[in-house]
Amino acid sequence: MRNHPSPSRFPLWFDPRSRHPGTWAFILNRITALGLTLYLFLHLYMLSKLSQGPEAYDTFIALAKTPVIMVGELLVIAAGLIHGFNGIRIALTSFGIGTRRQTELFWLMMVLAGLGTLFFGYVMFFKD
């Protein structure tokens, strides 16, 4: 009765051990989708503040250059890359491309997302 639901097994849902790459792909896809949706609403809210005049724009620019916001922007970039590359993997396997190599394809896409995030981080924090 391994899959039988019971309150005592509930904490096992949050145990990251023995998770397969397909499970991680599913979890990452859902978390990044939620994060990007939240970011969209925050972005639209901040853009609406810009319609209040030049002072509001200058305040927004000063806020956008703070390290906390820049780290948040890097997380948005990482989420976008992870979500996008995972979507490419899903699209490829949906058309029968790479279905026997889904695990390798997942890890390849995550490496590409990681490299992209590192590149954007370098440009954001070390290039002037």
- CATH 3.40.50.300 assigned to domain 21-126? The reply is no
* Distance, CA of 76 to CA of 35 (rounded, Å): 8
pLDDT band of residue 88 (cuts 50, 70, 90) is: very high
Long-range contact set of residues 85-93: C-beta below 8 Å, sequence gap at least 24: 85/109, 85/110, 85/112, 85/113, 86/25, 86/28, 86/29, 86/32, 87/29, 89/25, 90/29
Per-residue pLDDT band for 1 (boundaries 50, 70, 90) equals low
Q: What angle do CA 85, 86, 91 make, to 5 degrees?
A: 95
What is the predicted pLDDT for the residue at 70?
93
> pLDDT by residue (tens digit) across 24-57?
898 899 999 999 999 999 889 888 878 888 888 8
Total residues belonging to the chain? 128
8-state DSSP, 36 = H
pTM: 0.82
